[in-house]
Structure 1
Amino acid sequence: MNTTRGSSDLVKSGEAQEIPPLKNYLCLTMFTCFCPAWPINIVALVFSVLARKSYEEQDYDGSKRLGRKALHLGIVSFVIGLMIITAFTIVHFTTHVV
């Protein structure tokens, strides 16, 4: 009888909150560290680690905001890295060595 009373008290008082999943995009930001856009991907990695720290401190809104920043910077870093690799490849194969 006590177990049903305890669970209903939690629901009534509003203390039972659903914990959102952690989205810090750590794998993406670590992958982008291999791209040649180092200043941007290092910042993305820092935001990813800060998102995890905020999540552990139960600041779910801050974690979500920092995770989105890490995602956006990771994508930008990946695109810039691909552009740099493409430019170097084009220059390498189009120059003539005499």
Structure 2
Amino acid sequence: MALGVQDPRVKHSLSGSVFFDQGSLEEPPPPLRSYLCLTILTCFCPAYPVNIVALVCSIMSRNSYYQGDYDGSRRLGRNARLVAVASIIIGLLVIAISCIVHFTTGDF
């Protein structure tokens, strides 16, 4: 190393001692994408078994992230998003079919 060039991983304390910073070598974790808010909102759609599966996938995604399994967290988050979107679509279909059946049959 040339004189005057300092390694950014070397830290100096206030007392003048030098130590090597191990924490700067690690990459920061990727951002968390568990879609928990989306899955909680889908719990208001009338497709209850599908809603629960989306919520469980989202919670498992958060647990995997906090345990350090980032690939598993990403996979479970993607599954939670897909199941939540499917739940919204199923819920809207159930609402539409029930409205059609209610307003086309019987007396008003």
Q: Tell whether the structures are fold-level matches, with TM greater than 0.5.
A: yes
Q: Deviations over 1:18-77 (max 9, x none)?
A: 210100000110111111111111000000000000011011000000000000000000
Gap regions ≥5 residues in structure 1? none
TM-score by length of 2: 0.78
- How far apart are 1:6 and its partner, in Å? 3.1
Mark the runs of 5 or more structure 2 residues left unpaired by the alignment: 1-5, 13-18
Structure 1 partner of 2:78: 68
Which structure carries more strand by proportion?
2
Name the amino acid aligned to 2:79: K
Which one-letter code corresponds to 2:98 in the other structure? F
TM-score normalised per structure 1: 0.85
Distance 1:82 1:57 in 2: 36
- Matched residue, 1:93: 103
Higher Cα Rg, which structure: 2
Identity of matched residues, %: 49
The question of 1:83 aligning with 2:93 is answered: yes
Count of residue pairs brought into register by the alignment: 94
Structure-1 residue corresponding to 2:11: 3
> Which aligned runs of 4 or more in structure 1 are off by greater than 2 angstroms?
4-7
